[in-house]
Structure 1
Amino acid sequence: MPTPAIKICGISTPDALEAAIRARAAYAGFVFFAKSPRNVSPAQAAELGARAQGRIQRVGLFVDADEGTIAEAVDAAGLDVLQLHGKESPERAAQLRSRFGLPVWKAMPIASIGDVARAHVYAGAADLMLFDAKTPTGALPGGMGLSFDWSLVAHWNGPLKWGLAGGLTAENVGHAIALTGAPLVDTSSGVESAPGVKDTGKIAAFCAAARTA
């Protein structure tokens, strides 16, 4: 099985970004959602984006954002990918992909096999499905450290590329990869010492565990 690509999401400091690069992660995620403890300002995004350029792919995470917010983030950070983590429809995903000329990833909250089946409606609209844990009503849409029954997406053979998120840590990512065959794994709270505070040692451990799964 090929080694999965690794994304470290919720990066907000140069130290965390450098740790992800040292650990050979493929993607650094920057959160543009004011309610998140990982939210970055345009100024922070510009600094991180410039530091990341040519060294790691830059993913911007948005939650039902308007085009002005997305445009500002794309310009500031030089984003390579848009990740939609809200209730964006296939039509909205396709519109943003066309508007910005960037790949679009759509997070799909999973609690049942029916949720997995819904991913098919994004075929032709998004470039990748990110299967994540469904969070409680009123909670943040991600970064909560929650996982779901990974067997629901084991060796998914749908119409899109896909990745696995939700509660992944250095301790469980190897099992998750072995069970699902995920071609991409994404972590945020799993490499933190506190909400929004990345731990460089945990980033290194996570990436090493994912590569040796």
Structure 2
Amino acid sequence: MSLDIKICGVNTPAALEAALAAGADMVGFVSFPKSPRHLEPEAMGALARAVEGRARMVLLTVDASDAQLETLIAAAGPDILQLHGHESPERVAEIRARFARPVMKAISVRTAQDLDVVPAYAAVSDLLLFDAKPDPGALLPGGNGRPFDWDLLRSLDPGRPVMLSGGLDPDNVSQALVRIRVDGIDVSSGVESAPGVKSPEKIAAFVRAARGAPRSGDA
């Protein structure tokens, strides 16, 4: 089974080139002003044009309105919409239908009970991304550099491709891939030298570690 590697929070030409050169399958652009990885539409569009079909471009938004999504989609032409807020299953379905693009819904996880929503979101999403649940009052819904108990996903089968996020870095990504079977992995702060500052060396090391890791369920 192939593995999709997503480098999220790409916000400079140098970070984008590092991700593409390393062989990332997806690059994520963030539209969320509270994030150090936030991009305005014009800057996002310039980076998106530089991707040139070398990877799939993912637009990450947090509880965005239709008007905001229209502006960002027009600017960047994303391949996938990543919804990383409190969007309900109904809202996810509405966005998917309105904008006619694949949707990845992020689900925040701390305990097994957080997975109770999976069937409802699986029914309306193309991909599911599982991230560590932030602490109450945290400014960011993701990109906080914290893992959750990966074993909670061990027996999960939502009938949709699954991506793992939350606290992954070059040192632990192989451990995650050995423990649970996923279709993709997503990293942001784990390949940064400072919040919002991507490290080309860490990006390359992360992709090497992920590509070389044994996979759960492989013979």
CA distance in 1, matches of 2:22, 2:151: 28
2:152 corresponds to 1:152: yes
Q: Write out per-residue CA displacement over residues 159-178 of structure 1, whole angstroms, 9 at most, x where no aligned residue.
A: 22211000000000000011
2:88 corresponds to 1:89: yes
Look up the match of 2:174. Answer: 174
Look up the match of 1:4. Answer: 3
Deviation at 1:155, TM superposition (A): 5.0
Amino acid at match of 1:203: I
**Alignment map for 1:1-213 (pairs within 5 Å):** 2-139=1-138, 140-154=140-154, 156-213=156-213
Is 1:120–1:158's contact at 8 Å kept on the other side of the alignment?
yes
Deviation at 1:117, TM superposition (A): 2.7
Deviation at 1:3, TM superposition (A): 3.8
Amino acid at match of 2:115: V
Unaligned runs of 5+ in 2: 214-219
Is 1:155–1:181's contact at 8 Å kept on the other side of the alignment?
no
Greater than 3 Å deviation, 4+ residue runs = none
Deviation at 1:182, TM superposition (A): 1.5
CA distance in 2, matches of 1:42, 1:109: 26
Is 1:156–1:180's contact at 8 Å kept on the other side of the alignment?
no
Amino acid at match of 1:77: A
CA distance in 2, matches of 1:210, 1:155: 21
**Count of residue pairs the alignment pairs up:** 212
Q: Write out per-residue CA displacement over residues 120-159 of structure 1, whole angstroms, 9 at most, x where no aligned residue.
A: 1113211111010000111110001011000000252122
CA distance in 2, matches of 1:129, 1:123: 7
Q: Write out per-residue CA displacement over residues 26-77 of structure 1, whole angstroms, 9 at most, x where no aligned residue.
A: 1000000011000001111111010013111110001001011111111111
CA distance in 1, matches of 2:174, 2:3: 11
Q: Determine helix, strand or coil for the equivalent of 1:131.
A: strand
Amino acid at match of 1:27: M
Q: Determine helix, strand or coil for the equivalent of 1:60.
A: strand
Amino acid at match of 1:49: A
Deviation at 1:193, TM superposition (A): 0.3
Is 2:122–2:128's contact at 8 Å kept on the other side of the alignment?
no
- When normalised by structure 1's length, the TM-score is 0.97
Q: Determine helix, strand or coil for the equivalent of 1:95.
A: helix
Q: What is the root-mean-square deviation of aligned Cα atoms in Å?
A: 0.9
Amino acid at match of 1:67: D
CA distance in 2, matches of 1:148, 1:29: 21
Percent of residue pairs identical:
48
Deviation at 1:116, TM superposition (A): 1.8
CA distance in 1, matches of 2:164, 2:154: 10
CA distance in 1, matches of 2:189, 2:122: 29
